[in-house]
Structure 1
Amino acid sequence: MKKVFAILFFSFLLISCGSTKNTGKIPEEIIGSTTATKKPVRKVKPNKNTRVTKTNTRKVEETEDTVNESPKDTRENIIEFSKTFLGTRYKFGGTTEAGMDCSGLVYTAFKKEDIELPRISRDMATKGILISYKDIEEGDLVFFRTSRKNTITHVGLVVEAKRGDVKFIHSTTRAGVIISSMEEKYWKDAFVEVRRII
């Protein structure tokens, strides 16, 4: 009797599976399982802010805020961002595309990488470490005295440091945000020190 019941039950299962209409769609509950009819998954190249993990056999992208960048990458990001302000007019106390001063440019470029610096150049000159001019690198800060006062009044961000040719981006009262060379007599005479923040 048990055998007859088992055969009838098995036959019922076969008949019910065979009567299901094939719609060509994969039921939601089996998406992601290993089947021959599974649609190919488009590969997503993770960028530096993306982490790909597996959850219930599905790939999930998660944004990760704590991505470790090398100091060199951070310096390059700061330099590239500062260059987006080239041609911006000078504005005392400014930190936006509407206008900025020298320390405003440096402050804004570093802040983009979550590095807080003081807002004025003479206070920036108390941060980081003092570097010999011969060891200057891209991303270092150069400080100047541009008045008769015996204090730092101007700052620039080094964007190029090749032998004998150091260029820095800064904001000037006359031309706004520009790139200048340390070989220009005015800047050579006004130069005070180099500091490395990163």
Structure 2
Amino acid sequence: MKKILTLVLWMVCVERSSAQDALSVLLAQHLNDSLMLERIDQFRKGGYAKSFDCGTRTREEFIAKAKTYLGTPYQYGGTTTQGMDCSGLIFRTFRDLGLQAPHGAQALARFGQIVLDRDELMPGDVIFFSRTYPTSKLVTHAAFVIEDGQMIHASTSKGVQIVPMDDPYYWNEHYLFGTRIFGVIPEVPIPKDADTPVRLNED
């Protein structure tokens, strides 16, 4: 109870200084979930919304490069064409473009401008999920938003694949936030016109 009160006080202080602070909103959404409050607090202590220099690279380049790994089998901790996990796909794609990103969904989630509203997600945003498997970490799965209401990710059962973004189970129960790392933002949010639900396989 004491820790929850401390987190609430921190949230109030943050909101006073910045009404747009994403983690304060995330905390407010989980006030009745002490486990999530603990995980959010631990994530907060490690830092977030860190800058990431993409140089002259574009979201279009990133999307095109990520697609070259379609069909790559899943391998926990993998970052090669022999096998890769969800964060390994993102790590490898960045590396191919000459950019250094951390390998690990929770580590990746600390970089970029946080986007909480799903309707504001854009192609090029990285999206993160929580509690997709048992762990003490806040972030457990990562995917990359592409075009036409789709995302690319590494599935434990099917490897790297493109899937619709509108699975209600994952979006209602497990979606945390997206992060925007590319500076050029499209004028129109990504359309959500896919109608085939799909269940993610986490890593």
Corresponding residue of 1:110:
94
* Residue type of the alignment partner of 1:153: T
Confirm whether residue 99 of structure 1 aligns to residue 83 of structure 2. Answer: yes
Contact kept, 8 Å, 1:107 with 1:119, in 2: the verdict is yes
Corresponding residue of 1:54:
none
Corresponding residue of 1:83:
67
* Residue type of the alignment partner of 2:164: S
Report the 3-state secondary structure (helix = DSSP H, G, I; strand = E; otherwise coil) of the residue aligned with 1:168: strand
Corresponding residue of 1:180:
163
Corresponding residue of 1:48:
none
Deviation of the 1:187 alpha carbon: 2.5
Q: Deviations over 1:60-80 (max 9, x none)?
A: xxxxxxxx74x6xx1111111
* Residue type of the alignment partner of 2:95: K
Deviation of the 1:154 alpha carbon: 0.6
Corresponding residue of 1:10:
none
Report the 3-state secondary structure (helix = DSSP H, G, I; strand = E; otherwise coil) of the residue aligned with 1:192: strand
Deviation of the 1:113 alpha carbon: 2.0
Deviation of the 1:148 alpha carbon: 4.2
Any unmatched runs of 5+ in structure 1? Answer: 1-67
Confirm whether residue 144 of structure 1 aligns to residue 160 of structure 2. Answer: no
Q: Which has the larger radius of gyration?
A: 1
CA distance in structure 1 between the partners assigned to 2:63 and 2:118 by the alignment: 19
Corresponding residue of 1:171:
154
- Structure with more strand by fraction: 1
Alignment of 1:16-95 (within 5 A): 69=56, 74-95=58-79
Alignment of 1:119-134 (within 5 A): 119-131=103-115, 132-134=117-119
CA distance in structure 2 between the partners assigned to 1:186 and 1:101 by the alignment: 21
Deviation of the 1:109 alpha carbon: 0.9
Deviation of the 1:118 alpha carbon: 1.0
Contact kept, 8 Å, 1:78 with 1:112, in 2: the verdict is no
Q: Identity over aligned residues, as a percent?
A: 35
* Residue type of the alignment partner of 1:147: Y
Match of 1:191 among 175, 189, 199: 175
Any unmatched runs of 5+ in structure 2? Answer: 1-54, 183-203
- Structure with more helix by fraction: 2
Match of 2:141 among 154, 178, 184: 154
* Residue type of the alignment partner of 1:136: L
Moved over 6 A (4+): none
Q: Deviations over 1:155-194 (max 9, x none)?
A: 001012x5xxx31100011111011222113331321111
CA distance in structure 1 between the partners assigned to 2:99 and 2:177 by the alignment: 21
Report the 3-state secondary structure (helix = DSSP H, G, I; strand = E; otherwise coil) of the residue aligned with 2:146: strand
Q: TM-score, normalised by structure 2?
A: 0.57
Contact kept, 8 Å, 1:90 with 1:173, in 2: the verdict is yes
- Number of residue pairs the alignment of both structures matches: 124
